[in-house]
Amino acid sequence: MTRVDLIEMNPSELEGFFRGMGEPAYRAWQVYRWIHGHGVLHFSEMTNLPKKVRSLLESQTRIVSMDEIERQVDQEDGATKFLFRLRDGETVETVLLPQSYGNSVCVSTQAGCRMGCLFCVSTVGGLGRNLTPGEMEAQVLIAQSELGRREDGARVSHVVLMGIGEPLENYDNVLVFLKRIHEKDNLGISYRNITLSTCGLAPEIKRLASEALPITLAVSLHAPNDELRNRLMPVNKRYPLSELLPACREYAERTGRRVTFEYALINEVNDLPEHARELSRLVRGLLCHVNLIPLNPNERGLEGSRPDRVKEFARILENSGVNATVRRSLGGNIEAACGQLRRRNGREKS
């Protein structure tokens, strides 16, 4: 028998489900609050439900539709990385990162990816499929349950869509998910604490701008000109910098939010002083911030820049008036960078 996934249902669908079981409609709200409001992932903890209802739910439904198959904990920075198996055997990764400003969860939006970036392991096996809103929310709720009950203190305060997949390719589901975790009855995560990272799908960036939600947009830039970006990121052939940059500008103007440009520094590829100067000319005048991160080494064979190169790159940007920070690679010790755990597990689908 296929079990019903409760997390995928909105309140009115849940009402229909409980009516079908001969239960009153308010049960739907009780269950909705337990799952989405309290992040309770076991029926035994839903204490205001009669035992009979709980055991019915136990036998006919599931709350989340994924199982943890592996986890790694970074002893240094406290990051926990989960590998989950979805119902159809696809696997995705999620990272819980305790930060000075709160607890952040890095969510996957697709199983696999078809964007083909040269340095990224998530894309190696291609795209499996889009994740549903419930599968994205489940990643946050499971991370929250690691921290304990929300009302008891530690909370997930930040969500970043920087896991596996291209969120703007799964636009509709991502928006349903983000609106859901923002709701008061749900996790109540402020839009300002949500970061969506994209490889640069210009039309969808404009579409997101038109939603006028104060979400932080991060754009994986990684190169200051089309020639180099075409080589590193095939998506640039579809949406070159002359389309991407105006879309980012529009986003900043419509939302009033500073756009973050992600720039992974690759040894001798995109980390020369000339690249820094070119980058500063490219983004000057835009409400933005550049995040520099030495490339995480992986099976794709490219090398990260040396610390002195990284520093010099940042200095050139700062000197020309571009705001830049060097990000240390959180979770680097536990293969927290995109898709490595999933890859090492030997298959995209299990």
Give the catalytic positions in this structure. 93, 338
Write the binding mask 222 to 261 for ligand SAH: x where contact by CB under 6 A, - elsewhere: ----------------------------------------
The site for ligand SAH, by CB under 6 A, has a size of 17
Place of tokens 């089309």: 226
Dihedral of the alpha carbons of 265, 267, 273, 276, in degrees to the nearest 10: -20
Site string for ligand SAH, 192-211 (x = CB under 6 A): -----xxx------------
Closest approach of ligand SAH to the CB of residue 262, in Å? 4
Helix (H) or strand (E) holding 239: none
**Binding of residue 337 to ligand SAH (CB under 6 A):** yes
For the four alpha carbons of 162, 165, 166 and 167, in that order, the dihedral sign comes to negative
Closest approach, Cβ 245 to ligand SAH, in A, equals: 16
Subset of residues 257 to 286 that bind ligand SAH, contact rule: CB under 6 A: 262, 264
Q: Which is nearer to ligand SAH, 154 or 302 (CB)?
A: 302
Is residue 220 at the binding interface for ligand SAH, with CB under 6 A as the rule? yes
| Separation between Cα atoms, residue 96 and residue 36, nearest integer Å | 18
- First-to-last alpha carbon distance for the chain, in angstroms, is 21
Report in angstroms how near the CB of residue 260 gets to ligand SAH at its nearest.
9
Place of tokens 């992974």: 264
**Which among 338, 340, 347, 343 is positioned nearest to 89, based on CA atoms?**
347
Residues 296, 309, 331, 348: which binds ligand SAH (CB under 6 A)? 296
Largest CA distance in the chain: 70
Which residue has 């001969």 as its token pair? Answer: 22
Beta bridge partners of 261: 219, 290
Under 8 Å between Cβ of 82 and 71: yes
Asked if 65 interacts with ligand SAH (CB under 6 A), we say no
Please state at what angle helix 171-182 crosses helix 133-147, rounded to 10 degrees: 40
User: Looking at 83, 201, 288, 338, which residue binds ligand SAH (CB under 6 A)?
Assistant: 338
Identify which range of 6-14, 35-43, 112-120, 274-282 contacts ligand SAH by CB under 6 A: 112-120
Residues forming contacts to ligand SAH in the complex (CB under 6 A) are 117, 119-120, 162, 166, 197-199, 220, 262, 264, 293, 295-296, 298, 337-338
